[in-house]
Amino acid sequence: MTKISVVQDYQNPQAGETLTLTLDEKIRREVLRNGIHRPKGYTVSYHANPEVEKMHFGSKHPMKPWRLTLTNKIVMAYGMHNAMDVYLSRAATSQEMVEYHKQDYIDFLQSVVPTHRLEQDPVTGAWPYNMGDDCPVFDGLFSYCSLYTGASLDAARKVTNNQSDIAINWSGGLHHAKKAEASGFCYINDIVLAILQLLLYHPRVLYIDLDVHHGDGVEQAFWSTDRVMTLSLHKYDKMNYFPGTGGSDDTGPKTNANPGAHHSLNVPLQDGIDDASYIQLFKDVVGPCIKIYNPTAVVIQCGGDSLGGDRLGCFNLNIRAHGACVEYTKKFNLPLIVLGGGGYTPRNVARLWAYETSVCIGTEVHPSLPAHTPFLEHFAPDRTLFPELSQTGRYDNKNSEKYLRDIVMSVREQLRYVQGSPSVQLQHVPPDIGAVREEVERELQEIKEGKDVGRKRKERGVGTRGEYAH
């Protein structure tokens, strides 16, 4: 009988002989196949935390954080992470959240658990802080809120520190949350907090919302200031479609004496808008907004529920059309934060956000999803990045050419009241909202401050703390 040695000599495995190396090689080949490389002349950062993906609203709830898992798997399968600075985002602190939200609301989110019995108001029937079926209490609720908010704050800080030109956080974009209550699957308004962070350094910020639902929470937060212009393209039906706001006449305070007058712009749409109409409309309103308002930074919310076939949507958009809006915005070469938002058919939302990641890094990826993409069966039978969505549960297009022309004219009429770039009151620069920086960030900031002493003297005091939390 042949004696077998218990201890074997270690044989250095060759490339392709282990599962890890095989996957690495496949990704490397995909990178070469698609010509993926770090963008020239600008930096893209990608902010994510896998803990967000584990959260569960409930089996029957349309919000599925697992869509982020699918998104990240596609991004990595293509090898797009090689073209970006990828950061594991931290959790936002309660101190940072109260820069906009009420302290008692934050305290409630920190303490509430599913076993708590919530009492309805005996008169109105309302639940505390608008919690309920749309905004349920689930295990890890505050952790979920702090993680997606922290990623948006980190993205904003990378932009303000000149470490990123484009910062992506697909877990963010929860635009319905109000100052003291949850709304529309949203608990903390990470967009408002990120914009407040930008306003520490940027005189003017343009916010663009592509979600099929009106971006009411962000609009409300900056209703009375001219330092933020909000622009929302959405389905509008005051009586029958959530949230019932965002008509063409909702343009900010009615008195011109209020700085926020004419700085809340809305593009109310009917069912079934198609690719060509949407792209042209987007260009016709965004172009003039940027030219006249002259923002120094842009935040774009890329809600995927405006895609055709979405569980809660009613448009006929394909992925390329949605991505064309991000591409157009990117061409203005302004500091840009790209956020997620709605989207309730996870496989399509994941494809959309993966594609828009490729747009941000300036790469046209192959339409066939890489064969090594995890959960590839979820994208069957076509297994493509660009499924035909405009025919999936198609809605008749009720947006006539005249209707769309009238919308464009309405937006441009409001822009006539925007007399060039708004002035910035010179008082003191508000402190960073609870920034928890890594040591390297402190060092980079010190270098930046050394270079920008003259600029900071001119911009000192771009507003007072809490100025926009109305």
Residue of 104, 85, 86 whose CA lies nearest to 94: 104
CA distance 243 to 344: 17
CA distance 115 to 70: 31
What three-state secondary structure class fits 415? helix
CA distance 448 to 373: 40
- Catalytic residue from among 101, 213, 214, 234: 214
Describe the crossing of helices 103-111 and 141-160 by its angle, rounded to 10 degrees: 130
**Hey, what are 289's tokens?**
């907004």
Residue with tokens 């020239």: 40
Determine contact, residues 340/302, Cβ cutoff 8 Å.
yes
Distance of CA 121 to the CA centre of its chain: 34
Q: Is 372 a catalytic residue?
A: no
CA distance 243 to 236: 9
Phi then psi for 125, rounded to 5 degrees? Answer: 80, 5
Q: Give one DSSP letter per residue of 159-227, joined into a string.
A: HHTTS-SEEEETT---TT-BTTB-BTTBSS-HHHHHHHHHTTT-S-EEEEE-SSS--HHHHHHTTT-SS
Residues tagged active-site: 214
